[in-house]
Structure formats: C-alpha cells, structure tokens
Amino acid sequence: MGKTKILQVCHSYEPPFFDVANQYAAVFDGSKYEVTCLFLKGKDSPMVRNQAIADKLLFLESSTGDMRGMKAGLIKKLCRILAEEHYSLVVAHRYKAIYLIGIASLISSPILIVGVVHAYKVFSQLPRKLLVFLLRKRLKLLGVSESIRIDILDSLKTVSFNDVYSQPNCVEINRLQKEQLPCDEARHKLDLDTKSFIIATVGRMHPEKDQATLINAFCNATLQMPKAKLYIYGAGPLKDELKNLIVSLNLTDKVFLAGFVPEISRLFCAFDLFVLPSKIEPFGMVLIEAMSAKIPVLSSKSGGGVEILGNNNDLLFDIGDVEGLAAKLVYMYNLASGEQKMHIDFAINRVETLFSQQAFNQNFWKLPFMQNILASGH
C-alpha cells in the first residue's frame, strides 16, 4: 500500500508562510504520508529546498498578471496537477489558494480541502461567500486563532457554513532558543546601548499595529523609566507619521524607528521587554517568538494576544489605552528578578502547552474530519 498523498498550496514562501508550511508538513508521518508543497509565487529556491520539511516542492513561479482576475492559467495548471496525482487532502493557505484549488477541484477532482485563514473579514464579500457555498461538501476552514474562527462563522452564517475550526500556529521552541544570540552579542549586532532598558516591538508600520499608542504610552512613562529606550522594528506606510509623532513628543533621543531587520527573532535576547500594541492581531506569531526567547512581554487585548496570554491581566492592556499601557511599562520596568522570572515561566509554559509543534500536531489530528477522512493513513 502506497503513502497517502497530501498537497499544500501556499501563496509564496515569504515569511511567515514558509514557516507555516513547514508546521503543516511536520504534522504528517513520513512513513505513511507524502507531502508536496506548492508555491504559487517565487522562483525555485535552493534555500527553500534545503529547509523545507515537505517531501516534494513545486514552484509555479506565477507573475503578478497570473495572480489577477479569474486566474484561468493557474487554475488550468492546478487541474493538471490534481489529475496527475491522487491526493487525499489539500491544505490551502489564504483565500487566493483556497479559491484556486477550490475551482480546480470542482473541475478536476472532488478532493477534501482544508483552507487555512490567517486574517479577519476574509469571507465578508458576497463572491467569496458563494465560493464557500459551492465548495461546502468538500471544504473545511481553519482559523489561526479562536477569534478568527468566530469571525469566519459570523461572515458565513448567511450560507449556513459551519465547518470551521481553530488551529493556532506554532513555533519550534528548541530551535528558536538554540538560534538566540546572547544578550550582549545581540545588542552589539543591533547597535544597542548595553546599559539601557530596551523596550521593543516588531511589526509593519501600519494602523493595525498601532505603534502610536506605544509611543504615547512610553512618553507618559518615561520620567519613571530613566534608563528606558524604545525601538520599533519594521517598515511600512506610517513611518513618516510615527517619526513626526516622536519629534512632537521630544523623544528623538529615546524612541527609534529601527527599520526592518532580517531574522530579528534570533536577536530578541537583546530586549528587556517586548510589546505587541496591535489594534487587530489575528494570531501574533512574533509574540510567541518573544515568549520562547524568555523575555518579558506585554500585549494588547487583540484577538490573538488574549488567546496567547490566556487573559493574564498582568501582561495585557486594552487596545489603544495609552494610560493603561504606560502603567504596564512602568510595572515591567520595576520588576524584581523573581517577579520577572514568574512571568517568563508562565509564558514558556503557555508556548510549550499550546503553541509548540507537538501541541499543533495533537490539535490537528483531533479535528473530526481528519479522523474520518485520513484514518487509513494515520
């Protein structure tokens, strides 16, 4: 008896989706399953081939034009792939992949599709609701957090679609910890003052990430944190607006827009505190990466942040609450080493219990459709 074949369709291998693709590939026992990972965009990459967990890789190398409109060319290619192979399951990440493989399956093969949803309001538009209705007998949806699952159900109630489950992303804790540079070395690499209390956030400079609330809160707290400096890592459309805010608050010697840093998760030990101030956070991968690095964290009560930190009010603040965040910053700044260790131990336990690869695998195999459909190969 041959191996059960699994196809995974990804928009591209750009971060964080390559890591997510590896997480899903690692679910399947290589002695029983053969996993093929297909990337819609991106040229064939030796780096991806070397680091991929999947047994086989396909690079469609689609152009921007290929990805527009009805995408008939891509659908034709996917129909041919489905016809040539006998896959038992397709895992499709993001709506575009769900749409493409969904239409291809209607034309070519009635295959089980698991669509992984990474954002809010993905199915708010009528054409997308209709697609789900057409695929209702073969489609299951996974939200990367419980709040995403609830959002999907709310969007699709008009088409009575209820096959929606929660499958949080995960991290490889041991790998992340082994890759961490020590504090002094990481600070040197980031050109940080060794004597300062470094507060950091990482994310796109976008209204959803709400770095402005963090800057204003830091301003309110700075007199009570004389050694503190704030570094904001990332790029995006709000750079000039945030720069102007920093200047208007006279914080140019305390708050720094540090730009995009590749593989910054390896440098988290440089920070004394990590803050995720998002207004909207579907999951919060960067938060569990910081927790894995054993540094203290704070998060807004965005969907992902609350689920990751489990309603721990010591580590959570209301979305957009400048005064509340300022108080939390001062609290974390003044923590004794024993209290700090308590919060770090709590965070590590949350990651190991709920967001490790082992927890991810166990949750995936408990999904009812996995038990029913792939029992022969599991």
**pLDDT by residue for the chain (378 residues), tens digit each?**
689 999 999 999 988 889 999 999 999 988 899 999 999 999 999 999 999 999 999 999 988 777 877 788 899 999 999 999 989 999 999 999 999 999 999 998 889 999 999 999 999 999 999 999 999 999 999 999 999 999 999 999 999 999 999 999 999 899 899 999 999 999 999 999 999 999 999 999 999 999 999 999 999 999 999 999 999 999 999 999 999 999 999 999 999 999 999 989 999 999 999 999 999 999 999 999 999 999 999 999 998 899 999 989 999 999 999 999 999 999 999 998 899 999 999 999 999 999 999 999 999 999 988 876 555 544
> What is the CB neighbour count within 10 angstroms for residue 276?
25
pLDDT for the residue 303: 87
Provide φ and ψ at 191, rounded to 5°: 60, 50
Q: Residue 303 has which token pair? A: 């969907």
327 to 71, 225, 226, 334: CA distances (angstroms):
51, 11, 15, 11
**CATH 3.40.50.2000, the chain: domain bounds:** 4-170+357-373, 173-354
- Distance between CA 316 and CA 216 in Å, rounded? 17
Superfamily designation of domain 4-170+357-373:
Glycogen Phosphorylase B; (3.40.50.2000)
- Distance between CA 337 and CA 127 in Å, rounded? 54
- Spatial neighbors of 122 by CB under 8 A, at least 6 apart, are 95, 128, 152, 155
- Distance between CA 322 and CA 221 in Å, rounded? 10
Q: Which of 84, 100, 138 is nearest to 9 (CA)?
A: 100
The conformation of residue 102, written as its DSSP 8-state character, comes to H
Provide φ and ψ at 41, rounded to 5°: -120, 155
- Please name the fold of domain 173-354: Rossmann fold (3.40.50)
pLDDT for the residue 333: 97
Q: Are 298 and 325 contacting, i.e. CB atoms less than 8 angstroms apart? A: yes
Please write down the HEC assignment for all residues of 276-318. Answer: ECCCCCCCCHHHHHHHHCCCCEEEECCHHHHHHHCCCCCCEEC
- Distance between CA 277 and CA 213 in Å, rounded? 7
Q: Are 316 and 276 contacting, i.e. CB atoms less than 8 angstroms apart? A: no
- Distance between CA 140 and CA 132 in Å, rounded? 9
| Site of tokens 């057409």 | 134
